[in-house]
Structure 1
Amino acid sequence: MPALAEPGADPGTEPAAEALLRRGRVARSGWLVLGLLLVAVGFVGIFVPLLPTTDFMLLALPCFARSSPRLEAWLLNHPRFGPSLRAWRATGAVPRHAKIAACIGMMAGYGLFWLHVQPGLGFALAVAVGMLASAIWIIRRPVPEDKA
């Protein structure tokens, strides 16, 4: 348990305050590293089929919000990813083409799962219910107003 500061002592020199400040720097650094890793994976997704680029940028955005306002602004103002990120942040909107691609991808993924894994009925139904619930959630998201 940290010792209490002496009355009249400068709170900036407290060992507990220094520890909190240090912990804050470590947390910010951790969020920054995680955000940069997510952007790197998203960048790889530009070139690798089936690796979702925008999803990783969406995950990087709150990391940068906690660590680097400059990188957060860069992502939000990016010409390619910015509009989708701003629409998601404002209203949770997903463009129609992304909804269609997600649903087609889930159907194809389930078909490949069925063919290659040959699951039992219970497991196949559980996976189907999970994918159907995900598809319904995606379809019910609003569409951005500027990209209907």
Structure 2
Amino acid sequence: MMRTLWLAVGLFFLGIGLLGVALPVVPTTPFLLLAAGSFAKSSPRLHGWLLTHPLFGPPIRNWEDNGAISRPAKRLAVGTMAAVLVVSLWLGLGWKVLLPQGVLIAAGCAFVLTRPDGPSG
């Protein structure tokens, strides 16, 4: 029963992560990390597929092995978060939206920037 639930959760997160490849507003890697964690508890075959995937595998392995985010991924994440805040300012959103958005973006940036870069090789 739990294995089936973890498999369903993993497939759900995989679907959202794959949507993120095409939709710039949806982040890909966090959802693929959640899918990988779910597959680790339910499907060794799907977990292995994610880890060996040429595009998705390296950041997932870097996170699983080292708790790390590569420098290019950090730059992309922080740049995207900054762009979202700039667009929100440009759209003239009120402070009731900008304040929580800014706090959450700052927290997200702090988390990303304080992770190690991973192996240098």
Class of the TM-score when normalised by the shorter of the 2 chains: 0.7 to 0.9
CA distance in 2 between counterparts of 1:37 and 1:129 reads: 28
Q: Which residue of 2 aligns with 1:102?
A: 77
Deviations 1:24-62 (Å, cap 9, x if unpaired)? xx2211110111121122222222223222221101011
User: What's the counterpart of residue 117 of structure 2?
Assistant: 143
Q: Report matched runs for 1:107-118 at 5 Å.
A: 107-116=82-91, 118=93
Over 3 Å counting, the alpha-carbon distance change for 1:124 and 1:46 in structure 2 is closer
> What number of residue pairs does the alignment pair up?
121
Partner of 1:134: 108
TM-score (norm 1): 0.72
1:34 equivalent to 2:9? Answer yes
Which structure exhibits the higher relative contact order, with contacts defined as CA atoms closer than 8 Å and separated by 6 or more residues? 2
TM-score when normalising by structure 2: 0.86
Instruction: Select 2:63's aligned residue among 73, 81, 88.
Output: 88
The Cα shift of 1:117 comes to 5.2
* Unaligned residue ranges in structure 1 (runs of 5+): 1-25
Identity across aligned pairs (percent)?
37
**Aligned letter for 1:33?**
A
Q: CA deviation at 1:116?
A: 2.8
Q: Write out the 4+ residue segments of structure 1 that deviate beyond 6 Å after TM superposition.
A: none
Q: How does 1:23-62 map to 2 (within 5 A)?
A: 26-62=1-37
Cα distance in 2 between the residues matched to 1:55 and 1:119: 28
The one-letter code of the counterpart of 1:137 is: F
> What is the distance in 2 between the residues matched to 1:46 and 1:125?
28
